[in-house]
Amino acid sequence: MPPPPPSSSGRPSALSRRSFVTGTASLATVAWLSGCRSPGSQAPAPRFSAYPFSLGVASGEPSSDGMVIWTRLAPEPLVPGGGLPPEPIPVRWEVAEDEAMQRIVRSGEALARPEWGHSVHVEPAGLRPDRWYWYRFTAGDARSPIGRTRTTPAPSAQPARLRFSFASCQHYETGHYTALEHLAREDNDLIVHLGDYIYEGAARDNQVRRHNSAEILTLDDYRARYALYKLDPALQAAHAAAPWLATWDDHEVDNNYANDIPQDDVPREVFMQRRAEAYQAFYEMMPLRAAARPRGPDLLLYRRVHYGRLASFHVLDTRQYRTDQPCGDGNKRPCGDEMNPAATLLGAAQRDWLFEGLERSPAAWNVLAQQVMMARVDRLAGPDLAVSMDQWPGYEFERRRVLRHFLDRKIANPVVLTGDIHTNWANELVADFDGLDGRSVAVEFVGTSISSGGDGVAEPRNLDALLAENPFVKFHNAERGYVRCEITPERWTTDYRTVPYVTRPGAPVATRATFTVESGQPSLTRTG
């Protein structure tokens, strides 16, 4: 059994609290004193105006011999520069085999560089497969909270099970992160985040909580917005509990943007500059490998993580390379252009990468961790048809291509995980709705939001009509929460974990529905 999550989740320890430098709190108190140093002496320890690990720690991108461990120094996280001078700051890191950090197996020093927002991304390697590790950082005499992380099983291993949860859409203003508090306490080997980690909008009145600024447009804006979100103890606890695999959706940059096309009417070069700064802040704030370091407005986010021969996660990016919605935005009858072979959510390179990786995958279960709903849900009762043009049905040609690939190449147990729409769904994915065999070739679990949308409802108003219109939809619910999954070689089990309210703190969590999928049978059985 894995050990419990770290007790220090997201909160500075008593020891590190003592290391605060309080008082005048001016930037000048971050004294490098390099000018005062006598020749040959050690560099003086940095002193901070306040606790520099205010944003907690995180880990991600697990492999069988390592992962990324992350922190960002920010004694004043909501101000430009984070309350630090524009100089590199040495940060010591340690990885241990025990929660008390007694058996340290890897350690070293990294530089928190101002050009990367004083973030630190370390990739310790040479660790043992399939076990828990703990990590922490030290800068000057300040020490970070301890995070817990885990390596994946060896590539050839046949693990008995994998437990993970996935989540998305955590609008700060519309609710508390109660669902993340519960998620952090789950027995997760991994946490998958499917995007809308932040929202870019301006502060609004009369919300549960308040954004820190007008709409965010610049690197400093994005950094401060991430910092606001990351100051939440529940989010820090979820990061400290297990390694993450994070991808993005639209709000990490701009609502419903498509590649280089913004929502607002601004010149392309203006938007691409904004995208570059938003992507940089995403990299700085997430436990991503150096391979994902952005170059201008480009950041390579699609990648794979393998859990031995049990499961492979194909993490997708359906924002950066997509063509504009072929039939425009909104819910409407397809216009014909959704069958244009040039319209794409993935872009050709990512699609080739996905198809090739699926064919070569050694895994019993192939998980697509991605953003927008793949099932073609008809939103209108009766013979009329209305589908969401921002989701896969707006790109119907490519949607069918993916499902056909599952079928024709006999891909082992494809399971699609989805965020984006702030509601829970369990869908069987039918290859073709309009005349072919109508066979289910995969299943899709759509997870609701952590907080976006505020308090939800267990049974949406149109539920009966929607289920009657779309028989491949086996479950739909509009509460807030997250989705917990367990994979064994024979069976996949999904629990929809929901909280009844988020506009005030303290909601309990419950399992609203449970579905199982038997290996080799792409259909859903409700078991709870």
Q: Using CB under 5 A as the criterion, which residues of the chain lie in contact with Fe ion when the complex forms?
A: 169, 196, 452
- The nearer residue to Fe ion, 149 or 320, going by C-beta atoms, is 320
- The nearer residue to Fe ion, 120 or 169, going by C-beta atoms, is 169
Q: Residue 466: which residues within 8 A CB-CB, separation 6 or more?
A: 377, 379, 460, 473, 476
- The nearer residue to Fe ion, 9 or 452, going by C-beta atoms, is 452
- The nearer residue to Fe ion, 152 or 452, going by C-beta atoms, is 452
- The nearer residue to Fe ion, 196 or 428, going by C-beta atoms, is 196
Q: How far is the CB of 452 from Fe ion (least distance, A)?
A: 5
Q: How far is the CB of 254 from Fe ion (least distance, A)?
A: 13
Helices (H), 76-160: none
- The nearer residue to Fe ion, 165 or 452, going by C-beta atoms, is 452
Asked whether the beta carbons of 363 and 311 are under 8 A apart, the reply is yes
CA angle 279/281/283 to nearest 5° reads: 70
> Can you say how many angstroms the Cα of residue 245 is from the centroid of all Cα atoms in its chain?
6
Q: How far is the CB of 419 from Fe ion (least distance, A)?
A: 7
Asked whether the beta carbons of 19 and 143 are under 8 A apart, the reply is yes
- The nearer residue to Fe ion, 127 or 169, going by C-beta atoms, is 169
Q: How far is the CB of 184 from Fe ion (least distance, A)?
A: 20
CA angle 73/76/80 to nearest 5° reads: 90
For residue 478, give the DSSP letter: B
Query: Percent helix, strand, coil in the chain (nearest 5)?
Result: 20, 25, 55
Q: How far is the CB of 213 from Fe ion (least distance, A)?
A: 19
Q: Quick one: 88 exposed, middle or buried, by C-beta within 10 A (0-12, 13-18, 19+)?
A: middle
- The nearer residue to Fe ion, 440 or 452, going by C-beta atoms, is 452
Q: How far is the CB of 300 from Fe ion (least distance, A)?
A: 23
- The nearer residue to Fe ion, 452 or 477, going by C-beta atoms, is 452
- The nearer residue to Fe ion, 94 or 196, going by C-beta atoms, is 196
69, 54, 110, 90: which is closest to 223 by C-alpha? 54
To 10 degrees, what angle do helices 219-230 and 268-285 make? Answer: 40
β-bridge partners, 148: 134
Using H for helix, E for strand and C for coil, what is the string for 168-219? CCCCCCCCCCHHHHHHHHCCCCEEEECCCCCCCCCCCCCCCCCCCCCCCCCH
Q: How far is the CB of 142 from Fe ion (least distance, A)?
A: 35
Q: How far is the CB of 446 from Fe ion (least distance, A)?
A: 12
Residue reference for tokens 């009329």: 384
Q: How far is CA 76 from CA 22, 113, 116, 473, in A?
A: 12, 16, 16, 47
DSSP 3-state of 350 = helix
Q: How far is the CB of 421 from Fe ion (least distance, A)?
A: 8
| Rounded-to-integer distance, Cα 69 and Cα 267, Å | 38
- The nearer residue to Fe ion, 240 or 315, going by C-beta atoms, is 315
Q: How far is the CB of 199 from Fe ion (least distance, A)?
A: 7
The tokens for 510 are 């419950």
Asked whether the beta carbons of 194 and 417 are under 8 A apart, the reply is yes
| Rounded-to-integer distance, Cα 183 and Cα 180, Å | 5
- The nearer residue to Fe ion, 170 or 350, going by C-beta atoms, is 170
The tokens for 42 are 């050690």
